[in-house]
Amino acid sequence: MISKENLELLCELSKLHLTEEEFAEYGKEMTDIISLMDTIGESDFEYNLIDTTNAVPFSELRADEIETFDNMKGIVDNGPQTVANQFVVPKIVD
Amino acid sequence: MCKKYDTVIGLEIHAELSTKTKAFCTCDASFGGDPNTHICPVCTGQPGALPIINHAAVSYAMRAGLALNCDINRYTRFDRKNYFYPDLPKAYQISQLDLPLCVNGSLELSTGTVVRIHQIHLEEDAGKMVHDDYHGESWADYNRCSVPLIEIVTEPDIKSSEEAAEFVSKIALYLKYLSVCDAKMQEGSIRADVNVSLKPAGSNVLGDRAEIKNLNSFRSIQRAIESEIARQTEILENGGKVVQETRRFDDATGTTSSLRSKENANDYRYFPEPDILAITFTDEDIEKAKSEIPLLPHQRVERYTKEYGLTDEDARVITLEKYLSDFYDQTVRIYPQYKNVANLFLTEIMRRVKDTDSEDIPISPKDFAKVVEMADKNTVNRNDAKSIIRIMFEEGGDPEEIAKKNGFIVVEDTTAIAEVIDKLFADRPDLIEDYKNGKTNVFGFFMGQANRALTGKATPMSIKAYLEKKFSEL
Amino acid sequence: MTTVSLLRKKLDQKEISSVELTKEYLKKIHENEHLGAFNTVCEDEALISAAKADERIASGDSAPLTGIPMAIKDNICTKGIKTTCSSKMLESYAPPYDATVMEKLNSQNVVVLGKTSMDEFAMGGSSQTSALQKPKNPFNIECVPGGSSGGSATAVSAGLCSAALGSDTGGSIRQPASFCGITGIKPTYGTVSRFGLVAFGSSLDQIGPMANSAEDCGIILNAIAGQDKHDRTTRKHEIDFLSCIGNSIKGMKIGLPKEFFGNGIDEEVKTAVLNVAKFYENMGAELVEVSMPTLKYAVSAYYLLACAEASSNLSRYDGVKYGYRTDAPESYDELIKKTRSEGFGTEVKRRILLGTYALSSGYYDAYYKKALAVRQQCKAEHDEIFSKCDLMLTPTAPTVAYKVGANIDDPVKMYLADICTVTANIAGIPAISVPCGCDKSGMPIGFSLSAKRFDDAKLIGAADIFEKENPHPTANI
């Protein structure tokens, strides 16, 4: 069973706002889904941090040469709100 | 007064690497540019774009690690650090957690303290935000997004604000020597987070620490730590408890204040970055990186004092900047009169470049070596040598040409010396008479007159010798 | 069914022009709008490309796909053409760049007819989580076409295009191919560039073809595969995906993993797949029983890995740079929360929450790390299996296509239905789904062949042998 506090934290971490009904519904579903996921708890395989099949030799990395993207305007034009070629958000206060 | 508390300081230093391209895309990584003109689908987090790691970024980070006595992980991996902020387009930063590139390094300070380096890892920078108070908006520019950074994480081995400032300035100097970071604090290319805690003097138990974020000058690092020590001392003196938290330093007031960790419950949900394969290194890779490490400042100081016979002070001043030390090294390679080169270098070269931002010295080591040599051999006199350097700085040109053009070349013309001095004697019998009557100070008058008349034709030394001869014959 | 290889002949022999062909397909697309296969139809662009292709064909310089009208799943970036992922979040997003596969197709002058509907952000097995068009199964429009590449499967199956691209994270090419009676292959992880494929589970996602024959799949893979400097997870390889066509299957060992033929698999499906085994045996292959004990953890491992990665991959949708943005937010926090809550559908939110849970402090070791360990074990098991056999034969899905609306309120049941496909993604191996008849209700059944990494051509060769003797079922539309 996923607790209310835990679900609230998940919503905060993933920046999702749920209405009260949604919250109840997701809470129930998440509980079911997590009990399906719990089957993995029965496994006891060792995780190997180092997996050389999934690695690339240092010498093969990309060379440090500038290639300029040809459609920067296209990127900025997609911004829902832009000013002076920058993306606008409500003022950040920290 | 007996000290009641020991200060315990750990540092996290972020340094931007001076690669041509960004860490994970081929955009120009240089500082500045009009907003959003160094961007592409990768660094702006477009759907479907993928990071491609830059060889130079890894290579620079490795060089820094090796210079700071680190071990290199032969298998290094990247992880995603997840958090939302408008300067972070993907909403995660590619960083390293479990298998960082460099581990277990150290750096010794002048106090004798050895600061252990826990790890150095490679990560990407975020964009830049500008705040528009009038409209209540913040604007995001992604030019800086994905510029490579290294984060140097120390163990809490630093014992004072002075040590912390020395550590950071030493790191900055090393990174410049290694040509991996331009270390311009005003452009934010080096920033530090500082962990400060106090413990009862002599105790082994660490106290609760406060972290002060984002300090971007040596001075503010030192001031922030001092103010934080004072704050924590006061709390402990009053029987209070230091809260473990993140704080911010205000340069204007010189004090730190709490940064209430607003939204994020600070759970970054690190996990292995699936878009970047782990990187493996061979022995040759590491040997090659080691061979790219130049002599570091402390090694140069040792050479200057022990082999070249310079004073410790002079050696330190020359090594304060890599480009100056490099210039000195190149000069003495051509003309190995270490002290004479150092003397003219410290007065005439350093004086002219120390207040400029540019690291270009407008004259070549070869020409500078020539000037020192000319002065040493009395081909020009010492004052004229300084003038030649001034002219080369201001107008450029070949030192010998300048000396000739300005009549600085000393020609030992003995006939001319005799002619000029004989005439002076003939013109002023009155003074000769004075001399005979014991007024020996008239020697100075003749010396001055002769010097003036013989500029470029004779050295003061030979003039003096002839004069002395003449007077002794009276 | 009109295959790509047949169209190639017709185009090169000038029996039909690409423009004529394109017009025919466009007409069919319009006549079948009710199938909901396309989010976007690129009528004008398609005709322009077709005219260009005709010039190239006329010059005698045609590439294998020149002038061939294809459909593209709507999660593959097409420069200037909307790429919505069937989400309100990206409903109006036109990418500033082309995916690598699109550059490769464009260099052959392929005709792109449009972008096909799908489960939102590829999260689902029915294509009904789409916030835009919801595709229907051409064999019975009351049934789902499968998912998440449902629109592509529908379009190929209904003859609205000659072939299509899909993407497969846990079965999203193979399962809809099976439901719609067509062939689809998920190539080895790392053969086809993911650059420009909107990420769901980055370590699992692969783009692949969906077509009317295995040979067509090979032709398309030859065009789109290859190491890409924009995707470092692609590997150097020189696979000719058509190289095994015409090879005999004699002496090959085909493994039947017993765990795939147990409870939960529909009897008619089981029978049909076992008949495929018999077919291959009759053709000279040797059947061997193999075992995959990690299968019992496969669904949870898959969902934990895919959703963990998705929770991170989908964090970029914040209303700042592109896509949907909520109205008049008061603060940055409100901007992102409202944007994401309004822009994402139910299933996407579920998976983001699950992935966030699996990675969050205190749960990482119990879930995500365990899933990584299962993944390593699963890879090892596959190495073991493929040391004993060349190919592995399984059902593609436990059932045939189900009715629209079924399963939708029961995520657990929906997730369990992926049991037959997810292991290929977890292990990174290639797997192909091929139709093998229909059940009593007339809905297609598919079987899957898988092989060790980079043995994709072998799958295509073996599938081709079956297809030559067993034509695909056809939908009546």
Tokens 């099949």, residue?
Answer: A53
Total domains in chain B come to 3
- Enumerate the residues of chain A whose CB falls inside 8 A of the CB of residue B40: 69, 72, 75
Does an H or E element contain B10, and which?
strand B5-16
Residue C204 contacts by C-beta under 8 Å, 6 or more apart in sequence? C169, C170, C189, C302, C305, C306, C309, C425, C426
B290 in a structural domain: no
Total domains in chain C come to 1
Which residue does chain A place closest to C318, by CA atoms? A15
Closest alpha carbon to B80 in B307, B276, B312 = B276
What is the domain-level CATH number for residue B435?
Answer: 1.10.10
| CB contact at 8 A, B30 and A66 | no
C148, C149, C157, C311: the active-site residue:
C148
Q: Which of B20, B36, B130 to mutate to test binding with chain A, by most A CBs within 10 Å of its CB?
A: B36
- pLDDT of B459 higher than 80: no
- Are the Cβ atoms of B274 and C203 closer than 8 angstroms? yes
Which residue does chain C place closest to B86, by CA atoms? C320
Per residue in B285-325, pLDDT tens?
999 999 999 999 999 999 999 999 999 999 999 998 889 99
| CB contact at 8 A, C162 and C152 | no
- pLDDT of B1 higher than 70: no
- pLDDT of B368 higher than 90: yes
Plot region of B289 (φ>0 → left; ψ -120 to 50 → alpha; else → beta) = alpha
Closest alpha carbon to B225 in B156, B309, B164, B134 = B164
Distance CA B336, CA B329 (A): 9
Cross-chain CB nearest to C353 (options A14, A41, A48): A14
DSSP class of C330? S
C5, C157, C172, C450: the active-site residue:
C172
The answer to whether residues B70 and B201 belong to one domain is yes
Per residue in C176-185, pLDDT tens?
999 999 999 9
Tell me the residue range of the domain where C274 lies: 1-477
- Are the Cβ atoms of A92 and B259 closer than 8 angstroms? no
Distance CA A89, CA B26 (A): 27
Query: Nearest C-alpha of chain B: how many angstroms from C24?
Result: 32
- Are the Cβ atoms of C196 and B49 closer than 8 angstroms? yes
Last residue of a domain, one of B262, B285, B308: B285
C86 is catalytic: no
**pLDDT number for residue B460:** 79
* Average pLDDT score over residue span B346-373: 88
What is the domain-level CATH number for residue C60?
Answer: 3.90.1300.10
The answer to whether residues B71 and B163 belong to one domain is yes
Interchain CB contact of C79 with A (< 8 Å) = yes
Per residue in B236-291, pLDDT tens?
999 888 888 889 999 889 899 888 654 445 799 999 999 999 999 999 999 999 99
The answer to whether residues B272 and B371 belong to one domain is no
- pLDDT of B106 higher than 90: yes
Confidence grade of residue B466 (pLDDT, cut at 50, 70, 90) = confident
Per residue in C340-376, pLDDT tens?
999 999 999 999 999 999 999 999 999 999 999 999 9
Tell me the residue range of the domain where B314 lies: 295-405
3-state secondary structure of C223: helix
* Average pLDDT score over residue span B317-338: 94
Structure tokens belonging to residue C192: 């086809």
The answer to whether residues B373 and B394 belong to one domain is yes
3-state secondary structure of B310: coil
The answer to whether residues B268 and B373 belong to one domain is no
Tokens 């090979």, residue?
Answer: C218
| CB contact at 8 A, B23 and B54 | yes
Percent pLDDT > 70 in chain C is 100
Over chain C, what is the mean pLDDT? 97
So what's the ipTM on this one?
Answer: 0.97
- Are the Cβ atoms of B46 and C336 closer than 8 angstroms? no
Interchain CB contact of B261 with C (< 8 Å) = no
- Are the Cβ atoms of A29 and C318 closer than 8 angstroms? no
Distance CA C119, CA C170 (A): 13
- Are the Cβ atoms of A58 and B40 closer than 8 angstroms? no
Per residue in B375-423, pLDDT tens?
998 888 888 899 999 999 999 899 999 988 888 887 777 788 888 888 8
Per residue in C236-277, pLDDT tens?
988 999 999 999 999 999 999 999 998 889 999 999 999 999
- Are the Cβ atoms of C95 and B274 closer than 8 angstroms? no
Per residue in C423-455, pLDDT tens?
999 999 999 999 999 999 999 999 999 999 999
**pLDDT number for residue B260:** 65
Answer with the residue of higher pLDDT: C441 or B453. C441
**pLDDT number for residue B261:** 56
Question: Residue A87: exposed, middle, or buried by beta-carbon count in 10 A (0-12, 13-18, 19+)?
Answer: buried
Cross-chain CB nearest to A62 (options B55, B277, B278): B55
- Are the Cβ atoms of A94 and B259 closer than 8 angstroms? yes
**Beta-strand relationship, B75-76 and B278-280:** antiparallel
Task: Number of helices (H) and strands (E) in chain A: give both, helices first.
Answer: 3, 3
Angle between helices C267-282 and C456-469 (to 10 degrees): 100
Per residue in C15-68, pLDDT tens?
999 999 999 999 999 999 999 999 999 999 999 999 999 999 999 999 999 999
Cross-chain CB nearest to C376 (options A9, A48, A90): A48
| CB contact at 8 A, B141 and A72 | no
Q: Give the number of other CB atoms < 10 A from CB of residue B271.
A: 25
Confidence grade of residue C476 (pLDDT, cut at 50, 70, 90) = confident
Residue C290 contacts by C-beta under 8 Å, 6 or more apart in sequence? C255, C256, C257, C258, C385, C388, C389, C392
Q: How many CA atoms lie within 13 A of C345 on its CB side?
A: 21
What are C's interface residues with B at a Cβ cutoff of 8 A? Answer: 75-77, 83, 85, 90, 93, 95-97, 99, 194-199, 201-203, 229-233, 308-309, 311-312, 315-316, 318, 320-322, 332-333, 336, 356, 359-361, 364, 368, 372
The answer to whether residues B170 and B258 belong to one domain is yes
Q: Which of C334, C354, C367, C382 to mutate to test binding with chain A, by most A CBs within 10 Å of its CB?
A: C354
Distance CA B218, CA B459 (A): 50
C361 is catalytic: no
Q: Which of A15, A30, A52, A53 to mutate to test binding with chain C, by most C CBs within 10 Å of its CB?
A: A15
The answer to whether residues B254 and B400 belong to one domain is no
- pLDDT of C131 higher than 60: yes
**pLDDT number for residue B264:** 46
Q: Is the peptide bond before C202 cis (omega within 30 degrees of 0)?
A: no
- pLDDT of B146 higher than 90: yes
Distance CA B431, CA B439 (A): 9
B65 in a structural domain: yes
Distance CA C245, CA B216 (A): 64
Interchain CB contact of C332 with A (< 8 Å) = yes
The answer to whether residues B48 and B114 belong to one domain is yes
Tokens 């600085």, residue?
Answer: B408
The answer to whether residues B121 and B208 belong to one domain is yes
- Are the Cβ atoms of A90 and B277 closer than 8 angstroms? no
The answer to whether residues B358 and B426 belong to one domain is no
- Are the Cβ atoms of B138 and C332 closer than 8 angstroms? yes
Last residue of a domain, one of B285, B311, B344: B285
Distance CA C62, CA C476 (A): 33
Question: Residue A51: exposed, middle, or buried by beta-carbon count in 10 A (0-12, 13-18, 19+)?
Answer: middle
The answer to whether residues B35 and B150 belong to one domain is yes
Query: Nearest C-alpha of chain C: how many angstroms from A1?
Result: 13
B138 in a structural domain: yes
- pLDDT of C457 higher than 50: yes
Last residue of a domain, one of B285, B311, B343: B285
Cross-chain CB nearest to A58 (options B37, B58, B129): B58
Percent helix, strand and coil across chain A, each to the nearest 5? 50, 10, 40
3-state secondary structure of C186: strand
Per residue in A23-80, pLDDT tens?
999 999 999 999 999 999 999 999 999 998 889 999 999 999 999 999 999 999 999 9
- pLDDT of B188 higher than 90: no
Structure tokens belonging to residue C161: 């295009």
pTM of the predicted model as reported, rounded to 2 decimal places: 0.91
- Are the Cβ atoms of A72 and B37 closer than 8 angstroms? yes
The answer to whether residues B440 and B302 belong to one domain is no
C193 is catalytic: no
Cross-chain CB nearest to B47 (options C198, C231, C311): C198
